[in-house]
Structure 1
Amino acid sequence: MAMIDMLLAVLENSGLLELWDTVSPWLALDERQLIFVFATPVFVVVTVWEYVRIRHNPKLMDTREALRNFALGAGYQVTELLFAGIIAFPVYALCYHYRLLELELNWATGFLTFLGVDFCFYWMHRASHRVRWFWAAHVVHHSSERMNFSTAMRQNATNIFNGMWMFYLPLALIGFNPVWIGVAYALSLVYQFFIHTTLIGRLPGWIELIFNTPSHHRVHHGRNPGYIDRNYGGTLIIWDRLFRSFVDEDAREPPDYGITRPVSSNNLFVLWTHEYVDLFRDMARPGGLLSRLKHLWKPPEWERPEPTDSGKSHARTPVNTDQPG
């Protein structure tokens, strides 16, 4: 309580308390959470529809895993609800307080918010695969060997502590209200729920060209060598095309879902923490402080050279499947 009181005093003295109250009251659901509340019945309906269609195919559906996926998603939502206002909001409030532009909400700024959030999501998602500290949280989303709507709910309760929310801070500093950012982000996640399925094939060409689709996202979840670390987009696939991370789904090579180093446990806490354990175990190996710390920002497959090596790093088999979602 003393820490919270101190935080409130700092916010009040700096003039940010009013923004705190108007942007994200932390004793009530904010707009982002409300979107998920209203979307949940739709998620349940389409999940049941998909379940009826594929329940007899163990390669596509495992009932116990689907329930576990929803439990993982519930843990993620709980930690977001409890800690986002304490950890992330003060930083967003500070950036917005010193914003460069005064932007009013209209159709133009609303579209720019959506575009900016999707652009930031691309780089956040790409970092989630290529920076091991971020991958430690994201890996749980890829560790399932099945692709269905429940997989979209397979999230890590530690996400809020990893700092991936910092990728959107430049938008607040520019002048986009954190409420708009949160709403655009929530709508993007709602959209991405519907691309986690094998029941929808190719969509019309112009849609496949611009938007992230089930076909593109199946590639993202594949651990095939040609599919690893591809198709990071959220709502739009144009960023992958622009930054050369796009790969089309090949009908001759169906995605093999999962990660290259499968997790042997179904325990929720193990699923949430196993990559952190491996990360800190690697950091604990003998070596200089800087070389140990490199594990935090190097790619997941990076290995430190042994003390007797010439100094070149050894590459190991990539541990991620591309790729959110």
Structure 2
Amino acid sequence: MEKEKFTVDQILSMDLPNIILYAAPVMLSLVAIEWIISYKQKKDYYDSKDTISAAVIGLVNVAMSAGLKILTFGVILFFYNLVPWSIPATWWSYILCIIWIDFWRYWAHRVGHENRFWWATHVTHHNSEKYNWSVAFRLSWTQHIKVIFFIPVALTGFHPVVFFICHQIEVLYQFWIHTEYIHKLPRPIEYIFTTPSHHRVHHSSDAKYLDKNYGSTLIIWDRIFGTFQPEEERPKYGLTEPVNTYNPITLNFHEWRDIYIDVKNSKSLKEAYHMMFGSPAQIAAEKKAAMEAAEQKKKAA
């Protein structure tokens, strides 16, 4: 039997459930409850300006996602239609698809920390110095180009409806792990799934916690690929070099601006390439060392 191919119009006409949209009132309510509890308990988990900034970033991102729906659907459908095989839409295909998407989310997330170009599409999620459920809304306005990381999922042949529903489930899972109120869970859960404890480590700017725990739904990828770090002392959140602003535009584009400046000031194509695609941690260390050397030279003069 010949494989059924799909167009974007066909998928849109199916009126797929927007799970994230349905969950939005619940998420907003939980943010409000967590905020009120932390205020009454005099915890430092929330900052009003930071939360408003996160809300603005999240709302714009939702609008952009809706506007780019045809493009993102089109990319996935193009590659799904390329291959002659398909995986039927059955209960077990949803499980397999979530695992396969999660594997690629791990690598997309890891590349987003280890390559400066992709870091610029992700840094917005990390530039808050607080850790609460509102931080889950801080998704970069340029993150949508990450759709290319999920082309292998489309090429595997998962039914487009299965893919789009599973991807929403994966994104929705990220919400609950952004809290300090949930401590460590029973060992089997902590061993297999990404939990608030794991993700607090990931959001830390402490040296021992940097570039760890990339897993989205499953933490097993970090255990397999050597990027796992258990939570020990309470993390310090935010970037190693704070942005010190609540402006949503700056929070979304400050790294792109810095890349432009560094590439423009590069003395060779090799240096320019390094400034655009090198390791953010390595580039930051090099820039710090250069500044210290310049200061030492100035003092010696």
Query: Which residue number in structure 2 is paired with residue 307 of structure 1?
Result: none
Q: Bigger CA drift: 185-194 or 171-180?
A: 171-180
Shift in Å at residue 29 of structure 1? 6.8
Q: Which runs of 5+ in 1 are unaligned?
A: 1-14, 305-312, 318-325
Displacement after TM superposition at 1:301 (Å): 2.7
- Say how many residue pairs are matched: 285
Distance across 2 between alignment mates of 1:170 and 1:111: 17
Residue 152 of structure 1 is aligned with which of 118, 136, 150? 136
Q: 1:316 to 1:23 in 2, by over 3 A?
A: farther
The alignment status of 1:47 with 2:27, answered yes or no, reads: no
User: Does residue 22 in structure 1 map to residue 43 in structure 2?
Assistant: no
Distance change (3 Å), C-alpha of 1:109 and 1:36? same
Give the whole-Å Cα distance in 2 for the aligned partners of 1:29 and 1:45. 26
1:33-44 aligned within 5 A: 34-44=18-28
> Structure 1 pair 103/221, CA: closer, same or farther in 2 (3 Å)?
same
Letter in 2 for 1:128: G
Q: CA deviation at 1:137?
A: 1.8
Q: Distance in 1 between matches of 2:161 and 2:268?
A: 43
Cα distance, 1:286–1:237 mapped onto 2, change above 3 Å: closer
Corresponding residue for residue 292 of structure 2: none
Match of 1:165 among 147, 160, 163: 147
Query: Contact 1:100 / 1:173 at 8 angstroms: preserved in 2?
Result: no
Q: Any conservation in 1 of the 2:86–2:159 contact (CA below 8 Å)? A: no
Q: Which has the higher helix share?
A: 2
Match of 1:224 in 2: 206
Offset, 1:66: 1.0
Matched letter for residue 268 of structure 2:
G
Q: Corresponding residue for 1:321?
A: none
The residue correspondences of 1:152-301 to structure 2 (distance < 5 A) are 152-160=136-144, 163-250=145-232, 253-301=233-281
The structure-2 alpha-carbon separation of the partners of 1:316 and 1:229, relative to structure 1 and needing over 3 Å to count, comes to: farther
Q: Report if the CA contact (8 A) 1:75-1:156 is conserved.
A: no
- Return the offset for 1:21: 1.4
Q: Distance in 1 between matches of 2:46 and 2:166?
A: 31
Q: Describe the shift of the 1:238–1:21 C-alpha distance in structure 2 as closer, same or farther (beyond 3 A).
A: same
Inter-partner Cα distance in structure 2 for 1:272 and 1:29: 31
The alpha-carbon deviation at position 65 of structure 1 amounts to 1.5
Q: Could you tell me how far 1:157 is from its partner in structure 2?
A: 1.4
CA RMSD of aligned residues (A): 2.1
Partner of 2:48: 63
TM-score by length of 1: 0.82
The two structures have a TM-score, normalised by structure 2, of 0.88
Note the C-alpha offset of 1:24. Answer: 3.7
Contact 1:100 1:174 in 2 (8 A): no
Which of 70, 81, 84 is the matching residue for 1:85? 70
What amino acid is aligned across from residue 287 of structure 1 in structure 2? K
What is the letter of the counterpart of residue 80 of structure 1? S
**Change in 2 beyond 3 A, CA 1:165/1:62:** same
- 1:314 pairs with one of 283, 286, 294: 286
Alpha-carbon separation, structure 1, partners of 2:207 and 2:16? 41
After superposition, the C-alpha distances for 1:103-154 in whole angstroms (9 at most, x for unaligned) are 1111221111011011111001111111111111211111111100001111
Which residue identity is paired with 1:23? Answer: I
Contact 1:76 1:159 in 2 (8 A): no
Structure 1 CA distance for aligned equivalents of residues 138 and 250 of structure 2: 13
